[in-house]
Amino acid sequence: MHDLGGRYSNWKYAGSPLVTGNLVILDTGADGNSTVALDKASGRKVWGAGQDLAGSATPVPFEHAGQRGVLVFKTRAMVAHDLAHGRELWRIDWKTVYDCNASTPMVVGDKLFISTGYGGRSARGALFQLGRGQPCEIWRTDKLGTKMNSAVVYEDHVYCVSEKAGGQLMVVPARQAYSHSASVGRR
């Protein structure tokens, strides 16, 4: 990361590299190379993009409407890049206490689930509809919040251990149509 001019938040680097196809994706936080794709065989830089400080989550590949991309949860935003060229597709502003976005985002079909912890207004979860361009927020709740742990997707539901619920297991049915109020259940 040092060779690429990496910059990180208070928590240093915590996310793992992502290997997808012939690329290794790194969240470096470097100026102009905040997210970097390297050729996995040669180590040659394929593309670099962005200005954001590195976050603490592992990048996630996704495909929607024939578009292959990578989600990178930076310190203050969820950023989607085109996987082939690194062009920024969209971003969702997401600020947390201590700039700690550590939970891995989850893509479930055409939906994106984001959750973070650290109490107060920072501990929350949201579900977004993916489409062409900027995702549309379907709902947001402060009833759940992951901190360092990430959610798991199983049979169209997102399961997480919520800091807000005193460490209880929470389930979010991710593929159903929602109004703006979340249907979050405890298990």
Kindly give the pairing relationship between strand 157-162 and strand 168-173.
Answer: antiparallel
**Which pLDDT tens digit goes with each residue over 21-47?**
999 999 998 899 999 999 999 999 999
**Which pLDDT tens digit goes with each residue over 97-140?**
777 787 888 888 888 888 887 665 666 788 899 988 899 998 88
Please report which residue ranges of 21-145 form alpha helices under DSSP H. none
Tell which wins on pLDDT, 163 or 70.
70
pLDDT at 64: 85
Chain Cα centroid distance, residue 75: 10
* 149: nearest Cα among 138, 157, 159: 159
| Dihedral sign of CA atoms 129, 163, 59, 109 in order | negative
Q: Specify whether the CB–CB gap between 61 and 154 falls below 8 A.
A: no
Phi, psi of 85 (to 5 degrees): -125, -10
Domains of the chain, with CATH numbers?
1-100 (2.40.10.480), 103-187 (2.40.10.480)
Token pair belonging to 147 = 């901190």
pLDDT at 182: 40
* 73: nearest Cα among 44, 32, 113: 113
pLDDT at 87: 96
**pTM higher than the cut 0.95:** no
